[in-house]
Amino acid sequence: MKTHRETERSLCGPALRLPGFPPGEVWLVGAGPGDPGLLTLHAAHALEQADVVVHDALVDEAVLRLARPEAEVIFAGKRGGKPSASQPDITRRLIDLARAGKRVLRLKGGDPFVFGRGAEEARALVAAGVPFRVVPGITAGIGGLAYAGIPATARETNAAIAFVTGHASSGAVPDNVDWTALARSASVLVIYMAVKHLETIVGRLMKGGRSPDEPLAFICSATTARHRVVVSTLGAAVADRDAQGVEAPAIVVVGEVVRLREHLGAWWDPAGLMASGEMDAAAE
């Protein structure tokens, strides 16, 4: 007998069985960096079933368009300068909606557990006794690099990679990161939320021994119609950020892997895809 937890999907044929979305549950889902094709099957299936979608500012419009037309779509993000929902208000809302019997899709940019406060929300759901599921997503530091033609690792360049945030909840550069140790230990650094405090961050990395000539890239609005890559160096990054008008959201990647872009090229070009119609929805 088929239970409500098992529905068949036509996307990959009858062999694929994905769990149904029971009313009263919250699903904490990663939306990936932007391109809807980077959603997981679980995420796409959840969008088709959810009664309510509560999303962050980073979730691309092209992804939100995949929600059911009847679904209520609630923006719960933080947008620079404007008053935004507080974290306790967001979790309270998720809990209330679930208790009202809704299928609640909490959609977060990238992966919900990578610098996305998903852990805090999951803990609040556990404390409230609300059943939930976590659906990982492709984080911007992986998907964005790939679309920029920068491999996260390559045998000739790095055996380690570190994901770092350049922005603590206080708003400052996190002081629980040992930047000197990081500079010495991880040959490739993928830094989230680094645009604002770039000067401090690159300063600490160079102080920790990294060369000013080391390649660095900004990957802005990765995998969306606004996708843009600016290649620089550690020493020139601040000047290039200002001269080129680099804006958040952006991933900053530091390390020799950036040079591999010269070989891979800009294989993913949103302008070309728009011409072909593939990115029409995202460009609207």
C-alpha dihedral sign at 73, 79, 82, 85: positive
Q: Alpha helix locations (H) across 50-117?
A: 61-64, 87-99
Say if CB 98 and CB 130 are below 8 A apart. yes
Whether 1 is catalytic is no
Burial class (CB in 10 A: 0-12, 13-18, 19+), 257: buried
Q: Is 232 in the site for ligand SAH (CB under 6 A)?
A: no
Site residues (CB under 6 A) for ligand SAH, limited to 250-279 = 250-251
Q: Count of residues binding ligand SAH (CB under 6 A)?
A: 25
Q: Is 64 in the site for ligand SAH (CB under 6 A)?
A: no
Site residues (CB under 6 A) for ligand SAH, limited to 174-193 = 192-193
Say if CB 198 and CB 241 are below 8 A apart. yes
With CB under 6 A as the contact rule, the residue among 38, 52, 58, 253 that binds ligand SAH is 58
Whether 269 is catalytic is no
With CB under 6 A as the contact rule, the residue among 248, 260, 273, 283 that binds ligand SAH is 248
Site residues (CB under 6 A) for ligand SAH, limited to 81-120 = 108-111, 114-116
Q: Which of 60, 108, 193, 279 is catalytic?
A: 193
Block residue for tokens 């079933």: 49
- Do you know the residue count of the chain? 284
The C-alpha atoms of residue 253 and residue 162 are separated, in whole angstroms, by 10
Measured from the CB of residue 181, what is the shortest distance to ligand SAH in angstroms?
22
C-alpha 57: how far from its chain's center? 11
Whether 78 is catalytic is yes
Query: What Å distances lie between residue 213 and 50, 209, 216, 235, 244, CA to CA?
Result: 49, 12, 9, 6, 19
Binding-residue pattern over the window 20 to 39 for ligand SAH, x denoting contact by CB under 6 A:
-------------xx-----
Q: Is 249 in the site for ligand SAH (CB under 6 A)?
A: yes
* Region from 85-93, 137-145, 173-181, 228-236 binding ligand SAH, contact rule CB under 6 A: 137-145
* Amino acid symbol at 199: E
Q: Which of 78, 196, 240, 274 is catalytic?
A: 78
Under the rule (CB under 6 A), what is the footprint of ligand SAH? 33-34, 58, 108-111, 114-116, 139-140, 144, 192-193, 219-224, 248-251
Active site residues: 56, 78, 193
